[in-house]
Amino acid sequence: MLTLSQQLHQLFSGFTLIFLLQAAWNTLALAAFGCCAGLVAGFVIACVRRTRTLWLLPLRAVLIVFVELMRRIPFLVTLFLTLFVMQALGTQLSFFCIGLIAVSLISTAYLAEIFRAGFDSVPVAQIEAAQALNFSHRQLIFLVLLPQAWKVVLPPAFSFMVSFIKDTALASQLGVVELTFAGKILITRGYSSFLIYGVVLVIYFAMSYPLSRLGARLERRVSGALTQETSVVENPLLTPTQPLLDRR
């Protein structure tokens, strides 16, 4: 059996290093595609659920059932259900594409709920004022709700994305060669479990830590901007509607 130093030398040379990098790329692709698709679809679902149009009532009911159902089904069960549905439909998709569909469905449900919570955090008085000014639904979303909902949406959204990178390891149960599955393959080839999973840990950390720092930085910037705006509004010396004589 090779020593740990010899295994380490073989691990970072030739085919083994390329194999690990490809697996890391598959992990990153699953997480990035799932989060991007979830952000877009989740935002749309949250916007549709805010509507009060009568003919959209069946669609709102379907979306509510989808969100509540997907958030309560384990990740692994969702992966296998997606696989069985795709096979029943007669599609010839690869396991990687099926994994992309599954992670997109899961992230859509969670991020839709995060956007909904952010929209609900906006004071009702501001929504009623916008409606009194005859704002359209699009104007209400982009001019009233979304600018104020960011401070509520950003922390849980980035926390979910960071944990989502780790959850993609379950895609290995479908046969997707992602980082964890690649580690199992290398262990069966005689590498030390401590060495392989140590390298896998470092790669997962390298992918998730910058995202968590980005989320913390954006959260501080949004909170700072909102605090500055609030201080400007609450400061009577900077209120534009105050008479000039009263500013002395």
For position 226, what pLDDT does the model report? Answer: 60
- In this predicted model, what pLDDT tens digit does every residue of 29-85 receive, in sequence order? 999 999 999 999 999 999 999 988 889 899 999 999 999 999 999 999 999 999 999
For residue 17, how many other CB atoms are within 10 A of its CB?
12
Amino acid 235: pLDDT: 52
- Is the pLDDT at 238 greater than 90? The verdict is no
Quick one: pLDDT at residue 229?
Answer: 56
Q: What is the pLDDT of residue 53?
A: 86
Across the range 146-161, mean pLDDT stands at 91
E strands in the chain? none
Per-residue pLDDT at 97: 94
d(CA 141, CA 132): 15
Planar angle of CA 110, 111, 112, nearest 5 degrees: 90
Residue 3: per-residue pLDDT:
77
Share of the chain above pLDDT 90, in %: 62
Higher pLDDT, 119 or 3: 119
What is the CB neighbour count within 10 angstroms for residue 135? Answer: 16
Amino acid 240: pLDDT:
47
Query: Residue 216: which of 161, 168, 143, 149 has the closest Cα?
Result: 161
Mean pLDDT of 143-158: 91
User: What pLDDT, on a 0 to 100 scale, did the predictor assign at position 1?
Assistant: 62
Residue 220: band (very low, low, confident or very high) from pLDDT cuts 50, 70, 90: confident
pLDDT at 145 over 90: yes
Q: Has residue 88 got a pLDDT over 80?
A: yes
What domains, with CATH codes, occur in the chain? 4-232 (1.10.3720.10)
- CB-neighbour burial class of residue 180 (10 A; exposed 0-12, middle 13-18, buried 19+): buried
- By the 8 A CB rule, do 225 and 150 touch? no
pLDDT value at residue 205: 94
The pLDDT value given to residue 227: 62
Question: Average per-residue pLDDT in the chain?
Answer: 87
Which amino acid, 22?
A: Q
Res. 96: pLDDT tops 80: yes
Mean pLDDT of all residues in 136-163: 91
Q: Average the pLDDT over 99-119 and give the result.
A: 95
Which has the higher per-residue pLDDT, 232 or 177? 177
**What is the Cα–Cα distance from 222 to 226, expressed in whole angstroms?**
6
